[in-house]
Structure formats: C-alpha cells, structure tokens
C-alpha cells in the first residue's frame, strides 16, 4: 500500500479538460485566508494557548462525526473516552486512538476519512494509513509534534491562515476570553463571539429557569418576566456587538416563527417559571421567541443564522448515560417557506435584516431556501452543514441552489466544527468542490473562465464577508 | 475577456466520447420545429405584429425570473419598470436595462444567464458580456434591431421555426385574436388557446364573483348556481375546442381532487356568492372543481395539465404594492399519489382522459409522478417547470423519471414563458440537455446509438404532439 | 442496427481514467457467488426442477415491472396473460410476447430494458433487439432452449452461481419444499426461508381471520387471542429458524412502531375477530405488532427487514378485476427517524437486534436512514429497492448514504425479484454500479485503489453475509 499522501488534485473532477480548469480555479484560492463565520472552537483555547496534550482528546473524543460511526459499528462510547454519568473517563488515549484506527474501514468513502487524511498528512505529517497495525506509531508521532511550539493553538491559527474565527457563545457569557484576546497585542487573530440563545426559547427545558437566572446576573435585568427576558436579551446582544459579534445563531426544532401578543407571551413565561407550561404552550413560546429574535436582528443588524430541523438526543438511554452531543442528534424533514412567511412579510425586505438559512434536509435547497433567497434581499442560502458538509453533498447543494439563488445569495462555506485542527481541511474541501463545480460550468460553456475566476475568489472572501457583515 | 459567443457545444457533456455522441444526437434535432404546448405569450402580439419598442419592456420588466433575483440582490421593483399601485412606471428603459446589466454577476451560473447569452447572441447579435460598462451599447444595439422588419413578432415566429404555440386564456375570453390569426392568410403559424379556469375554482378569491359575471356574459349561461357554472365551463370548453384548443391548464395550491355531491357543492357556491364561505369550505369547493375538471377532460378529450404546489404571492407587501406575478410565488412540498387517487380510480384508465402532471418539488418525480405515469395510461410526466427548468434540473428530472416512466410517458419540453424571444433558447437548452442525457446512456452502453437517435427525435416532435393531442 | 450484445463495459463510467479503475474493481467481483438475501422465487420451483414451459409465463406475466409500463402505454393486462377475476387467462404466450416486443421502445432507458438485454443475451443467447419484427424469432429461440437440461431451474441455479437464495414465506407455511431441498443430496444450493407476517398485523384485512386460522393450524396454538397470536408467531419463528431462516420481512404502510399494553392489544384483537375494529384501531394494532416484531427479533436474533412506504393497489378497479401485485402499488413519502424512535430507544443498541431499513422514497437515504445507521449499531441501510433498483438510483443511493453510513453499514444488494432468470443481471448491475462509484472516489483521490478493492469485494460477500447473519 502506498503511503498516506493526499493527492494535489483530490476532489477535482477526473475528466482531464475539467480538471485542468478546476486546477486553475482552485490554485487561485488555495492559499486564501480562511473566514470561519460559524464554529464551535473555544476562544479560551487561543487565550490560554496551551499545548494540546493527547491526540485522542484532540481528535476523537470531542468529535461527534467520529463517535457516531464508531458507535454504529459496535464500539461503546466509553471506549472512545466519552464521560459517563458525568464522571471522568478512564479510557486511555492510546487505546481510544486504537479503537479509531482499527475501525478505519468504516469511514472509507466518508468525509471523516477525507478530513483525517488531509489533517494527518498536512497538519501532523503522518504518512501511514490508519489501521490497528499503525495506530501506535501514528499516536506517538502526533504526541511528539504536539509538544512543539509550532503546534500550540496560536501558532496553528497563524499557520492555518485564519482571517476571522467566530465562536458560539451563551448570552450570559461575559466574553472575557474574547476581550482578553483583543487586548493581547501578541495575538493578531480576529476571534468573534456569536450570540446563541436557544435555551432561552424553551420554557419546558429543565435548565430554562436556571439559565434565566444566569442571564439576569449577566445583564443585571430581571428575567422573571417576558418583557424582562426580551430586555435582557437586547442588552446582551448590544454587549456582544460591542465585543465584535456580527451574527447570532438559532438552532430550533422547526422554523416556525409566529408572534404572540405580549399578554399571552407573559402568561406562558409565567407558566414556564411555575413549571406548569404544557408542550403546546412551550412550542408557541418558542415560535414567538424566534419571531422576536428576527425582530431584534432587524433592529440591531446582527445577522440571524437559523439552523432548524434537527431532532436532538434521539436515543434517551445514551443521553442519560453520556449526555447530549454524543452522536444521536438526527435530521428531520424541513420546511421554511410557510414557517417563515410572517417573519419575511414583516422584515424580509428591510435592508437591516439578514437571515441565513441552514438545513440538514437536502430537499429544501431547491424547493425552499434557494427560491426564498432568490426573492428576499434579506435571505441567504446557508452552506451545507453537519450531515451534509461532504464533497458529494456540497456539489449537490450547488447544483440545487444555483438555479434560483446564483452564487451571490449563498453564504460561503461554514465549517461548524469543534475540531480546531480540521478547519483547514474543511475549507480546502469546499474550495476544491466549488472549483470543480465551476469548472464543469466552464467546460460545458455555461460560464466563462473569467467569470468563474471571479466567482471562485468571491466565494472565499467577498461573499462570506458581506453575508456575515464581517 | 473574449466576446460573448455561445459555444456550439454548450451544455453537451465535457467528456470527449460522450460529447461526440451528444453532438450527433443534438445535430439531428437542433433545427427541428418548435412545439410549444404551454406558454404565456399573448396571441394579440402576433395579431398586431407591432414593432417591439424597448429592450427593457421586452426582456426585463415582464420576466419574473429576472425580477426576482435582481430584487433579491437589492434592486427595487420600481427600478425595473414594474408598475406600482397600478400607476404607469416612470422608470426609463435604458436605466432598467442598466440595473440588469450592472448586476449581471448575480445571474452567473443560473439559467437566466444561459438564456440571455443565447438570446443576446443568437437573436440580437450582441457580442459583449452584459455589465455596467456595456449596458448602453447593448441597449442601443437592441433598440436598433427592434425597428427592423425582421424583428416584428411574426417574422420572429417564422425565424424561430415555431410549429405550434399554445397561449393561456381565460374561459371568458372570446378568443378574437386567435380567430383573427386563423383567418389571416398572411400568417401561417399555428397558435392555439389553452383553457385556464383557476379563478373559477376559488370562491373565496376577491375576484370570483366578478369573474363569474364575465363568464356568464361570455357563455350566455347564468353562473350564479353551481350547476350553471359547470354548464358555462362546459360551454366554453366546447368553444375553445372549436378554436383549436387541445388542452386545459390548472394551477392549484395542491392536487387534491375530491367530488362533492351536487347539493353540497351548490350550498358552497351560494355561500361564495354571499361572501360567507369559510376557508375550509373554499378548499372543499376547489377540490371538487378539480375533480369536475378531470371529469370534463374525460368527456371532451381536452388534455388536462395540472401545475400544483406553488404558494402564490408570499410577500403581501409586494403584492399590495406591485400586484401578483412579481417574483414571490414560491414552491411548496408536493404530493400527487394520494391526492389524485379518486380521479385516477374514476378516469385513470379511460382512453379519452389525459393528465399531465407538473411539479416544482423535484422529490416527487421519482416518488410519485413517474410511478403514476408508469401505470396509468392517462398520466404523463410533465417537463420540469419554472424554478426547475434549468439545465441541471432537467438532467436530474430525466435521471429521476426515466426509471419508472421511460421517455415515452414524459410530455416533451414546455417553455412556459412570457418572454417571446427566449423561446428558441429554452427549447434549444432542452434539446442539448436531452442529447447529453441520451449520450451518457449510449456511452455507458445502456442504450444503442440507433435507439438514442429515435428517442431524441421523438422527444421534440412525436412525443409533444401525441401528449398534447396537437 | 448492430446485434444485441451487451457491452463488457456497460454501466462503467465513460471517462477513460475512471473506467479503467472501474474495470479492475468490477473484474474482481464479476464472478463472485451471489448472495440473494431477499427475493420472491418459490422454493418449490427448485424442488420440482421442472422445465419452464413458456417465455411469457417465465418473463412477462409475473413481472410487475414489465406489466406496469406496458399497461401505462395502453396494453391491457389481459393481453399480457394476467388472470382476470381469477379465471385462467386465455392469452396466448406468443401474443403476450409480441405485445412486449412491439412496445420495446417504452422501456428504452429503463432498468427493465437493461435487465432484459442482459438476460436475453447472456442467459438465452438472443442476438436481436426486441421489436414487433423480431418477436416470433426470439420467442421461438427461448422456447427451444427452455426444453434443454441446461435450462431447468437447478441447472440455472448452479450456472448463476447462487451461494444463498432467500425466499419469502408465510408463517403458516410448513416449509416442506425447503426441508425437502435440504435433504436432497443431489442439490447443493442453499435456499433459506424468510418469515413474512404482514397479514397478521392488519385486523381490518378481509383475510385476517382466515389467516389466523391457518396460523393456528400450523402452530397448534390458538390465535383467537392476542397473546395466542404472539405465542403462535414466536413458535413459527423458531420453526423457521430451525429451517435455516435468518431474517424476517415486514412491509407496512408506514414505519411507526408503538407498543400497546396487553389489555388494549387484546381488546383490539377481539374487535378484529368480531369484525368491529375501526380504521384507527387497526392502525394502532398494526403499529403495536411492528413493535412486537422488533421485540421478537431482539429475542431470537432474526434480522428484521422493514420495507415501508408503499401504497398498495392504488387503482381499485384493477384490483377487483386482476387482483393485487398488478403494477399499481405506488411509493409514498417515507419517514423513519420519528416513527422508529421507541423501537430504537428500547432495542437499538442491543447486539442481538438488527434492523435493515428499505425505502422507495429516495429523500430519506441522506436524511433518515443513513444517519440512523450512522449511530445505531442495530440499523443497516437497505439497498435501493423496487422503483429505485436501477443503475442511476443505486448510484444516487451510494452518494446519499455513504457520507453518514459509509459502506459497512449498508446491507449489500438485494434483488427482490420474482423473475428467477433476472437474478444474475440484477446482481451484475449492482456490482458494476458500485465499481463505478468506487472508481470515481479513487479517480478523485478520495479513496485509495487498495481500499476500493477491499470494499468492492466486501460489498458482495462479507457485507451481505454479516448483515443478514447468513
């Protein structure tokens, strides 16, 4: 078996004519700075700038992409280092890594294998394919480089050429790490918070009341009433904006956004506080909050990201044993056109309002999101995300969305990752797939090569910067 | 930048082997006469045969494909010449045209850019890519050719080699333009009316009562009762048939077709007349009417076209300001198999009945429409339409529909256009994409080249003629 | 027209680089034994080993793939030899065959034409394309070979290189043919029963009571009560297991599986026996039974196959005239993630439980089935089936399922056929398409050629053997 060595033409179409065009397009953007307007890296990581300690803690345990397919193949989550019942895992890093390498075949053909090959080879210099036999050697090699200066978070940030990195943050967060990073003259990177207030929308969630308490403490505003909560959220949005935030994120079960009148909303808020709210009432409360969030975005100009249509924690026994984000959040059928009609009638043509729509149900790209973005100035087509942020799905996304929305009403790539070291591989993947897509349009004479170059370059800079108001 | 010059091989697959086969298939149909069994060109245009006056009035303002993406990019509809509150627009043609050209980048990769390039180059002889810098020159060039004899509607009709052009007409229309055209010995073209009675199905529509009045006047039959309305519609269908009509069209919110008994229908009709009909009752009335339309088609042999699943006028403020058909009709999730079960149980195997099903929700091609057309002799798969009448979507349509329905239970291409000058570009696109699709089947040895030639030629002549009973 | 001669490279991608890789992958599996874990061939066929008598009875009349598109093209079912009102058809085989050949053009581009070309050429040695003109000659040629020893069922079984053939059987079946085949030393083939108990789930089905009676007779257990029925089913599952059965199949209108408490289930059972059960109650009963079937699978380790989402006998007049399975079963929109949540919460991580999910609604591959199989150890992605078991759809399936489920959580190909002679053509199709899919991954450097070879070989042996516990 030849050594692990990602091919310079990987992901580019195989046809020689198209590949030649794609190469040229890709080459022009390959080294461009990375705009990462949506992700889950912790700002504290860059503030502390500590050495990463263990390859498995860095690459395996926190990545639900990896966990889920290993679990599906019979590996238990505790064998992968996942904390059980809140207790520290006693899994040994080397053994977790071996469980991953020994099951490498289950990832063949998936984006996980693609990212890991790029990351292993290009970030860590690994030259062997993962397997039970090579696991220890690869583990040792990564352990070793992690002790070097070049592999501390800030050095990687610079090496990865990240122009902007957005984090995801609770409204009650004091953004101390962000503030400290901005003040730190030794770090030139731009790290921005993102305002994510999902939990405050769900009065039947067990943590809702305690989260309201935290938000009250953070904002100095009583959140015991509905109007207080709205005021506290507005207060924190302003605080986030002062700390460089340009966008919010909302992850909801569905995209319905229907305003309640204040008295009804207050009544439901009180029922939530009293623990007497019904499921239907909680849904109505959540849908009103989504409407209010849109209204706030229209008022303060923070770009509203909406990621709807995921069923969270499908397997209750795993939730109880291992907690959330352990691989069993699952896609649901999505809808946007009807659910968002009220929001778009009220704010859809307001120049201050901007709404980026994401989905894990591919059918809505051509049926709903692209047509919405193809009429409403406020709406942008969010890049494929989570289950569909793969080479094949990104290509399908372009084919599905371009007809109605073109390129300039799409958001640019988002990596949505917790895996810091996978950021370059993910953005590189997107650039290659887009180069291939554009090259096919050129080779079939649907787009001039000159125009294709402009689009390819705009997709990695102008488009994300404008979409997210960076 | 090289001049604007559509490539002779455009849309044909890039692979040299496949392209060679596709070229040969395309060549055999490239010059074939155009059958356009579904469109929105006004018969009066050909009757009057007046010079077109202004490029923007001809190409931009009436085309919602163009309006919607410009609007989505921040251009206001009044800047594009759209009439506001019913008042004549004071937009200047040259400036409308510049708004279009200056935003040309938003159309890159979309079917609009494809059609315009073909149309600009092949109809008008334009050799520059649209841009702010070239806008005036292109505008002037088109203005100039529009004054020539060769660019009057009938000359274009002949040049476009249109064998049959179907218009879309209200049942109350006296079809005067059609009659005059048929009598006019100086015009050899075949222009057929299509019977479209949507408005008569919706008793909660503000214009329903006045439309009933117009229909009564046109038919000489009192439409104040349900049975009167049915009689008037039958009367007008016969009148349309006498004027060459071979098909009807229905555009409904959904495809449910459920008969009511006469007493219930009459009660709902009366409630509609009295303005007291509820939303649910109006839906029941509409679904009954769709069933009655199917029954009439079975009786008189007019081919029934059904275009369902579009949410009309999604943005109410734009509707109020600019009226309907201004770019915010949007696709909805579609279903046919359950909604049409009653109609198909009653008429589905009757040789007189024919039903062509269209969708803007691509998922139903493989799941519903092709399987229905793959069993019911009456059902045909309508070509992709509106949001999905693009090269990529037509190719997906063939891939999705052919397995269950083959080629001979599809309808042939329809252009569905208001943009007279785009007709050749649209049909040419379809011929190229079909040639490419067939060529891939040949190159992968799924279809002999001889059979592929037969299919390619049947798709542009025999198939539309038989499907629409032309 | 050149003779009918399936190309050795058929279905392999046209691009020379990819084709070369695909050829090599295909070559390595082309002659591999066939595992057919799901089909509808009658075990008695192999037991009796009688000569097939008539080409139409063998190839046309029993195959609803063929019937449906001929019917859709205006051929009446009685012309195709389908029994009407239970009476023997008086259609003459030669004329049935001519109706098929004369309409060959309607199959062009469909999987039916692909299978028939392979089968005609490779099984029967036919060298002419079907047409009205060639029909008699082809018919005669097939008649002639059918009289030879080489064309008796067992000889074909051996020639087809079938390692395992699973049939589909009623729980009340005594499996006499299976037992006799196993005892017959002159037949080395492995033929396994599959337990299919759909009818016992539907207390509003006209045959439910009589089927319960048959099951009671077969099991010696009174099925007049709900607990009796469960006991009888468990009894028969054990009996099937003793006869080599490794899996069950369930074909349900939807995938909801919701347990009832015993008292409620017993009450509904009694209502079914009394003929007083309502539609809603029958649905609740069926959904409980699906849950109980899952529970039994967890207990006894029989692999549970679930094929949901088909609307049976859409056209009632054809059902009444010609019976079921006559071409008008039609796909429905599918869902799995919500409907199966209870089953998967209860059994989804139990190593004994295994659930293979099939769909005829392609949208759920990427949205539901692959993500479920990508977390739950018990869940496998079933191969595309029925309306979507075509080259194009299998390729779309791989593209849609691989991202979340890889290759090793898919089931391997199933042919699901009643057409014994089409088995090799169907498996060969699958191997070619998978070779092409893998070759594209190799050519775009997403997968090493070594890994691709491993996967290609696992897909035709290790994967089906492990999935179905063969």
Range B219-225, long-range pairs (CB < 8 A, 24+ positions): B219/B171, B219/B172, B224/B273, B225/B266, B225/B269, B225/B270
Query: In the structure, what pLDDT confidence band is assigned to residue C284 with cuts at 50, 70 and 90?
Result: very high
Tell which residue, B355, B375, B362, B254, has the closest CA to residue B305.
B355
Q: Minimal Cα distance from B439: which residue of C?
A: C14
Across the interface, whether the CB atoms of A330 and C447 are under 8 A apart is answered no
How much is the average pLDDT of C128-146?
Answer: 97
* Half-sphere exposure of residue A309: CA atoms within 13 angstroms, side-chain side: 23
Q: Minimal Cα distance from A378: which residue of B?
A: B72
Q: pLDDT at residue A6 above 90?
A: yes
Range B281-286, long-range pairs (CB < 8 A, 24+ positions): B281/B203, B282/B202, B282/B203, B282/B204, B284/B258, B284/B260, B285/B201, B285/B202, B285/B203, B285/B260, B286/B201, B286/B202, B286/B203, B286/B252, B286/B253
The distance of B126 to chain A (nearest Cα, Å) reads: 16
Cβ atoms < 10 Å from Cβ of B379: 27
Q: pLDDT at residue C2 above 90?
A: no
Give the model confidence (pLDDT) of A177-187 as tens digits. 999 999 999 99
Q: Which two tokens stand for residue B255?
A: 């495809």
Query: What is the length of chain A?
Result: 470
**Residue A378 carries which DSSP code?**
T
Chain C hits for A73, CB-CB cut-off 8 Å, are 377, 408-409
Whole-number mean pLDDT of chain B? 97
Q: Which two tokens stand for residue C374?
A: 């990508």
Give the model confidence (pLDDT) of C228-269 as tens digits. 999 999 999 999 999 999 999 999 999 999 999 999 999 999
Tell which residue, C361, C197, C211, C170, has the closest CA to residue C294.
C197
Chain A hits for B69, CB-CB cut-off 8 Å, are 374, 404-406, 409
pLDDT of residue A53: 86
Handedness of CA A345, A347, A353, A358 (dihedral sign): negative
Tell which residue, B42, B50, B45, has the closest CA to residue B167.
B42
Return d(Cα C211, Cα A222) in angstroms, integer. 67
Q: Minimal Cα distance from C309: which residue of B?
A: B367
Give the model confidence (pLDDT) of B245-260 as tens digits. 999 999 999 999 999 9
C75 touches chain A (CB under 8 A): no
β-bridge partners, C165: C36, C191
Mutation site, C366, C369, C439, C450, interface A, largest A CB count within 10 A: C366
Report the SS3 class of residue C124: coil
pLDDT of residue B110: 97
Across the interface, whether the CB atoms of B375 and C11 are under 8 A apart is answered no
Across the interface, whether the CB atoms of A74 and C345 are under 8 A apart is answered no
The distance of C314 to chain B (nearest Cα, Å) reads: 7
DSSP string, B69-100: HHHHTT--GGGGT--BTTBPP---HHHHHHHH
Return d(Cα C458, Cα C407) in angstroms, integer. 9
Q: Specify the pairing of strand B247-252 against strand B195-196.
A: parallel
Return d(Cα B373, Cα A107) in angstroms, integer. 40
pLDDT of residue A1: 82
Mutation site, B108, B116, B317, B359, interface A, largest A CB count within 10 A: B108
C129 touches chain B (CB under 8 A): yes
Of A338, A408, A438, the CB nearest to B105: A408
C-facing residues of A in 76-105 (CB < 8 A) are 105
Chain C hits for B351, CB-CB cut-off 8 Å, are 74
Across the interface, whether the CB atoms of B408 and C331 are under 8 A apart is answered no
Return d(Cα C100, Cα C136) in angstroms, integer. 11
How much is the average pLDDT of B276-295?
Answer: 98
pLDDT of residue A90: 87
pLDDT of residue B2: 87
Which percentage of chain A shows pLDDT scores above 90? 97
Chain A hits for C363, CB-CB cut-off 8 Å, are 361-363
Chain A hits for B311, CB-CB cut-off 8 Å, are 337-338
pLDDT of residue A303: 98
pLDDT-wise least confident of B85-89, B157-161, B179-183:
B85-89
Question: Is A57:A421 a contact under the CB 8 Å cutoff?
Answer: no
Cβ atoms < 10 Å from Cβ of C125: 11
What ranges do the domains of chain C cover?
1-31+419-470, 51-148
How much is the average pLDDT of B173-192?
Answer: 96
Query: In the structure, what pLDDT confidence band is assigned to residue C88 with cuts at 50, 70 and 90?
Result: confident
How much is the average pLDDT of A235-255?
Answer: 97
Question: Is A35:A469 a contact under the CB 8 Å cutoff?
Answer: no
How much is the average pLDDT of A275-292?
Answer: 98
Predicted model pTM = 0.97
Across the interface, whether the CB atoms of A374 and B68 are under 8 A apart is answered yes
Report the SS3 class of residue A264: helix
pLDDT of residue A454: 98
- The CATH-assigned architecture of domain B51-151 is Orthogonal Bundle (1.10)
Give the model confidence (pLDDT) of C388-407 as tens digits. 999 999 999 999 999 999 99
B41 touches chain A (CB under 8 A): no
pLDDT of residue B88: 87
pLDDT of residue A32: 98
Residue B93, φ and ψ in degrees, nearest 5: -50, -45
Return d(Cα B232, Cα B220) in angstroms, integer. 8
A328 touches chain C (CB under 8 A): yes
pLDDT of residue A2: 87
How much is the average pLDDT of A403-427?
Answer: 95
CATH classification for the domain delimited by A53-151, as one of 3.40.190.10, 1.10.2020.10, 2.40.128.20, 2.120.10.30: 1.10.2020.10
Q: Minimal Cα distance from A19: which residue of C?
A: C444
Helices (H) and strands (E) in chain C, counts: 21, 10
Q: How many CB pairs under 8 A join A and C?
A: 135
Mutation site, A2, A23, A75, A109, interface C, largest C CB count within 10 A: A109
Query: In the structure, what pLDDT confidence band is assigned to residue C70 with cuts at 50, 70 and 90?
Result: very high
Burial of A128 (0-12, 13-18, 19+ CB in 10 A): middle
Of B17, B366, B402, the CB nearest to C109: B402
pLDDT of residue C309: 93
How much is the average pLDDT of B211-217?
Answer: 97
Q: Minimal Cα distance from C439: which residue of A?
A: A14
| Phi-psi region at A201: left, alpha or beta (left = phi > 0; alpha = psi -120 to 50) | alpha
Which percentage of chain C shows pLDDT scores above 90? 97
B-facing residues of A in 377-436 (CB < 8 A) are 377, 379, 399, 402-409
pLDDT of residue C418: 87
C-alpha distances in angstroms, C317 versus C69, C76, C93, C406?
18, 13, 25, 44
How much is the average pLDDT of B64-81?
Answer: 96
Q: Chains meeting C at 3+ CB pairs closer than 8 A? A: A, B
| Of C91 and B382, the one with more pLDDT | B382
From start to end of A172-327, where are the E strands?
A: 190-192, 195-196, 247-252, 303-308, 310-311
Q: Chains meeting A at 3+ CB pairs closer than 8 A? A: B, C
Mutation site, C64, C114, C330, C400, interface B, largest B CB count within 10 A: C330
Q: Minimal Cα distance from B348: which residue of C?
A: C315
Return d(Cα A326, Cα A332) in angstroms, integer. 17
Give the model confidence (pLDDT) of C432-445 as tens digits. 999 999 999 999 99
Q: What angle do CA B232, B234, B237 make, to 5 degrees?
A: 110
Burial of B453 (0-12, 13-18, 19+ CB in 10 A): middle
Whole-number mean pLDDT of chain A? 97
Chain C hits for A7, CB-CB cut-off 8 Å, are 445
Across the interface, whether the CB atoms of A10 and C444 are under 8 A apart is answered yes
Q: At what angle do helices A16-29 and A423-443 cross, to 10 degrees?
A: 130
C107 touches chain A (CB under 8 A): no
pLDDT of residue B171: 97
Give the model confidence (pLDDT) of B400-437 as tens digits. 999 999 999 999 999 999 899 999 999 999 999 999 99
Question: Is B409:A420 a contact under the CB 8 Å cutoff?
Answer: no
DSSP string, A277-308: --HHHHHHHHHHHHHHHHHHHHHH-PEEEEEE
B114 touches chain A (CB under 8 A): yes
Across the interface, whether the CB atoms of A18 and B14 are under 8 A apart is answered yes
pLDDT of residue B418: 87
Q: Minimal Cα distance from B363: which residue of A?
A: A363
CATH topology of domain C51-148: uronate isomerase, domain 2, chain A (1.10.2020)
Mutation site, B333, B353, B403, B458, interface C, largest C CB count within 10 A: B403
Q: Specify the pairing of strand C195-196 against strand C190-192.
A: unpaired
Across the interface, whether the CB atoms of C446 and A114 are under 8 A apart is answered yes
- Residue B244 contacts by C-beta under 8 Å, 6 or more apart in sequence? B178, B182, B190, B192, B193
Query: In the structure, what pLDDT confidence band is assigned to residue B348 with cuts at 50, 70 and 90?
Result: very high
How much is the average pLDDT of B32-59?
Answer: 96
Question: Is B291:B259 a contact under the CB 8 Å cutoff?
Answer: yes
pLDDT of residue B149: 97
pLDDT of residue B86: 85
| Phi-psi region at C49: left, alpha or beta (left = phi > 0; alpha = psi -120 to 50) | left
Whole-number mean pLDDT of chain C? 97
Q: Minimal Cα distance from A359: which residue of C?
A: C367
CATH classification for the domain delimited by B16-50+168-467, as one of 3.40.50.720, 3.20.20.140, 3.40.50.300, 3.40.50.1820: 3.20.20.140
Mutation site, B14, B376, B453, interface C, largest C CB count within 10 A: B376
Of B18, B371, B408, the CB nearest to C106: B408
Query: In the structure, what pLDDT confidence band is assigned to residue A418 with cuts at 50, 70 and 90?
Result: confident
pLDDT of residue C90: 87
Say whether A53-151 and A33-50+152-243+260-292 share the same fold. no
Question: Is A416:A385 a contact under the CB 8 Å cutoff?
Answer: yes
Chain A hits for B12, CB-CB cut-off 8 Å, are 444
Return d(Cα B454, Cα B456) in angstroms, integer. 6
A48 touches chain C (CB under 8 A): no
Q: Which two tokens stand for residue A457?
A: 């370059």
- The CATH-assigned architecture of domain A33-50+152-243+260-292 is Alpha-Beta Barrel (3.20)
Q: Specify the pairing of strand B330-331 against strand B310-311.
A: antiparallel
Across the interface, whether the CB atoms of B109 and A345 are under 8 A apart is answered no
C361 touches chain B (CB under 8 A): yes
């Amino acid at each position: 078996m030849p050594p692990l060595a990602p091919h310079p033409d990987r992901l580019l179409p195989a046809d020689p004519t198209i590949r030649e065009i794609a190469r040229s397009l890709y080459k022009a953007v390959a080294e461009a700075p990375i705009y990462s307007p949506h992700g889950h890296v912790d700002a504290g990581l860059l503030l502390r700038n500590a050495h990463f300690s263990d390859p498995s803690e860095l690459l395996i345990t926190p990545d639900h992409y990896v966990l889920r397919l290993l679990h599906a193949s019979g590996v238990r989550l505790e064998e992968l280092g996942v904390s059980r019942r809140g207790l520290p895992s006693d899994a040994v890093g080397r053994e977790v890594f071996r469980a991953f390498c020994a099951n490498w075949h289950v990832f063949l053909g998936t984006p996980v294998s693609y990212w890991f090959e790029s990351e292993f080879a290009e970030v860590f210099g690994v030259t062997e394919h993962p397997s039970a036999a090579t696991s220890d050697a690869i583990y040792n090699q990564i352990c070793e480089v992690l002790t070097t200066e070049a592999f501390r978070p800030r050095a990687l940030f610079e090496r990865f050429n990240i122009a902007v990195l957005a984090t995801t943050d609770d409204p009650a967060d004091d953004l101390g790490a962000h503030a400290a990073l901005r003040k730190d003259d030794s770090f030139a990177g731009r790290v921005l918070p993102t305002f994510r207030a999902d939990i405050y929308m769900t009065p039947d969630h067990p943590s809702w009341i305690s989260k309201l308490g935290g938000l009250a403490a953070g904002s100095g505003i009583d959140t015991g009433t509905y109007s207080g909560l709205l005021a506290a959220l507005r207060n924190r949005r302003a605080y986030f904006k002062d700390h460089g935030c340009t966008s919010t994120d909302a992850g909801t079960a569905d995209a319905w956004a229907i305003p309640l009148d204040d008295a009804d909303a207050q009544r439901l808020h009180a029922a939530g506080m009293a623990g007497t709210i019904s499921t239907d009432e909680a849904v109505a409360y959540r849908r009103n909050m989504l409407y209010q969030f849109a209204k706030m975005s229209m008022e303060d100009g923070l770009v509203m990201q909406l990621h709807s249509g995921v069923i969270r924690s499908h397997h209750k026994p795993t939730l109880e044993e291992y907690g959330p984000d352990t691989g069993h959040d699952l896609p649901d059928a999505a809808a946007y056109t009807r659910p968002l009609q009220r929001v778009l009638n009220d704010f859809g043509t307001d120049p201050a309002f901007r709404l980026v729509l994401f989905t894990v149900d591919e059918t809505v790209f051509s049926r709903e999101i692209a047509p919405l973005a193809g009429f409403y100035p406020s709406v942008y087509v969010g890049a494929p995300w989570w289950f569909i942020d793969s080479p094949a799905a990104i290509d399908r996304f372009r084919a599905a969305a371009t007809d109605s929305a073109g390129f300039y009403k799409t958001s640019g790539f988002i990596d949505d990752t917790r895996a810091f070291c996978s950021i370059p591989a993910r953005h590189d993947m997107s650039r290659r797939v887009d180069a291939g897509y554009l090259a096919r349009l050129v080779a079939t004479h649907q787009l001039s090569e000159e125009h294709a170059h402009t689009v390819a370059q705009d997709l990695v800079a102008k488009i994300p910067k404008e979409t997210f108001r960076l």
